[in-house]
């Protein structure tokens, strides 16, 4: 089957399809599925589970005045939140878009090689959920945090709210796909912040590194399938997609203060309301922590930013396109 696809794709002049074929051919070598998982025996209770700089309130005086035990529990919850957001992205954001592609509900994405890559991506994503759920179970057991309730992430909540505004099915699917494109492009940088950090729990670092290995390929996959899809969209659909891509940047960068508020109450952190309210007023969306360059390059490569209206959509949301 692979030889059949390779023989036919070699005759295809479409550069995106050729690149996607190369990514597909490397799947068995690069995918973390079936490879040795991080060793939980490397869990070092004396090392923090997370880094303070990634907490949305790390610079606030109330957090900095907490004792070591309180900070340690918050950092462990930071790790749990980090992983639960991964589950949210994989299951609530990316998987539905993959299913739409496989069911031929997204124009321009019916190529056999695209469908094979999407199937492989779904296998990867299922493995990532298993990987981080196992990591969280270990952390919850080691840190006595088994009963923490997180609630819903703003990324999934905002996506659902936006979809509810539009009765048209094509809009609902493009909203889902835009959030998937942005998430898959951004998630590698999101993961890199921990995968390269030697100060945290070695087990946690190894878990994130294993996940990021796959996501580097997924970013390329979603970039190239976006190029394939866009040429099949009409002007109205293209404008709607641009709006949803820009909006998805804000959703991804949201600091989830409502979620953190629930966690700090459960941890009985003093002055937790003041801490969250102060930080929420300062900045609820961490655009300064997001590298938009790959998304901007994608928009430029498909000609979106040849149009002033597209640049204006991003600028109105304070997203720099230069």
Q: Note whether 140 and 148 are within 8 A (CB).
A: yes
Closest CA to 222 of 129, 92, 101, 303: 101
Distance CA 76, CA 73 (A): 5
Q: Note whether 101 and 176 are within 8 A (CB).
A: no
Residue 6 pLDDT: 45
Residue 226 pLDDT: 93
Residue 23 pLDDT: 67
Distance CA 257, CA 73 (A): 17
Residue 201 pLDDT: 86
Closest CA to 86 of 204, 202, 244: 204
Beta bridge partners of 254: 285
Helix (H, G, I), strand (E, B) or coil at 315: helix
- 150 Cβ partners below 8 Å, 6+ apart? 80, 81, 84, 259, 262, 263
Residue 7 pLDDT: 44
- pTM here is 0.87
Residue 33 pLDDT: 60
Residue 31 pLDDT: 58
Beta bridge partners of 220: none
- 199 DSSP assignment: S
Residue 11 pLDDT: 46
In Å, how far are 181, 228, 271, 297 from 294, measured between CA atoms?
11, 17, 39, 5
Residue 244 pLDDT: 98
- 134 Cβ partners below 8 Å, 6+ apart? 37, 40
Intervals of the chain under pLDDT 70: 1-14, 23-42
- The domains located in the chain, with CATH, are 67-287 (1.10.620.20)
Distance CA 148, CA 167 (A): 36
Residue 39 pLDDT: 61
68 CA to centre of own chain: 30
């Amino acid at each position: 089957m692979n030889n059949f696809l390779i023989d036919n794709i070699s005759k295809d002049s479409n550069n995106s399809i050729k690149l996607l074929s190369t990514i597909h051919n490397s799947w068995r070598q690069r995918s973390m599925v079936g490879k040795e998982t991080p060793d939980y025996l490397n869990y070092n209770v004396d090392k923090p589970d997370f880094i303070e700089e990634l907490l949305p309130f790390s610079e606030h005086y109330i957090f900095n005045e907490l004792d070591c035990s309180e900070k340690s529990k918050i950092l462990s919850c930071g790790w749990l939140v980090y992983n639960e957001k991964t589950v949210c992205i994989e299951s609530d954001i990316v998987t539905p878009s993959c299913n739409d592609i496989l069911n031929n509900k997204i124009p321009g994405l019916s190529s056999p090689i695209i469908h094979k890559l999407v199937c492989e991506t779904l296998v990867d994503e299922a493995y990532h959920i298993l990987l981080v759920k196992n990591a969280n179970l270990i952390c919850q057991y080691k840190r006595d945090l088994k009963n923490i309730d997180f609630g819903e992430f703003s990324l999934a909540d905002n996506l659902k709210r936006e979809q509810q505004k539009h009765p048209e099915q094509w809009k609902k699917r493009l909203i889902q796909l835009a959030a998937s494109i942005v998430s898959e492009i951004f998630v590698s940088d999101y993961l890199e912040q921990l995968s390269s950090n030697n100060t945290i729990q070695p087990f946690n670092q190894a878990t994130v590194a294993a996940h990021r290995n796959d996501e580097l390929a997924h970013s390329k996959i979603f970039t190239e399938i976006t190029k394939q899809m866009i040429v099949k969209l009409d002007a109205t659909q293209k404008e709607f997609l641009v709006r949803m891509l820009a909006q998805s940047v804000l959703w991804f960068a949201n600091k989830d203060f409502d979620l953190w508020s629930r966690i700090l109450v459960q941890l009985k952190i003093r002055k937790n309301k003041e801490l969250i309210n102060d930080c929420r007023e300062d900045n609820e969306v961490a655009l300064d922590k997001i590298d938009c360059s790959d998304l901007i390059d994608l928009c430029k490569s498909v000609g979106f930013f040849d149009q002033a209206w597209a640049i204006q959509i991003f600028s109105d949301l304070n997203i720099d396109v230069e």
